[in-house]
């Protein structure tokens, strides 16, 4: 599995565990909902800064998204 696929799956899993929509996660990160969909679909590669922002919004350490 590619790293971006792993990140996307983890973002989606954690978002769903919290009962959040893609839009609600996007609002917390300060990005567009389409960008969240692209992250979850492993279409968009994340910068380290964005990885950190998504992790903070999900209230997990950035490493949790890479597991």
Q: Among 25-34, 40-49, 55-64, name the one with the lowest average pLDDT.
A: 40-49
Q: Under CATH, which number does the domain 3-66 receive?
A: 1.10.260.40
Q: What does pTM read for this prediction?
A: 0.94
The residue ranges of every structural domain in the chain are 3-66
* pLDDT of the residue at 58: 98
Rounded CA-CA distance 67/62 in Å is 9
The continuous run of DSSP H or E covering 28 comes out as: helix 22-29
Q: What are the pLDDT digits (tens) for 43-55? A: 988 999 999 999 9
User: Tell me, what's the pLDDT at 55?
Assistant: 98
User: Burial, 36: exposed, middle or buried (Cβ in 10 Å; 0-12, 13-18, 19+)?
Assistant: buried
Q: What's the confidence (pLDDT) of residue 62?
A: 97
Q: What is the pLDDT averaged over residues 17-29? A: 98
């Amino acid at each position: 599995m590619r790293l971006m696929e792993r990140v996307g799956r983890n973002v989606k899993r954690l978002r769903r565990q919290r009962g959040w929509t893609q839009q609600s996660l996007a609002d917390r990160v300060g990005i567009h909902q389409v960008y969240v969909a692209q992250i979850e679909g492993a279409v968009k590669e994340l910068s380290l800064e964005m990885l950190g922002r998504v992790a903070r919004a999900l209230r997990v350490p950035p490493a949790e998204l890479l597991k």
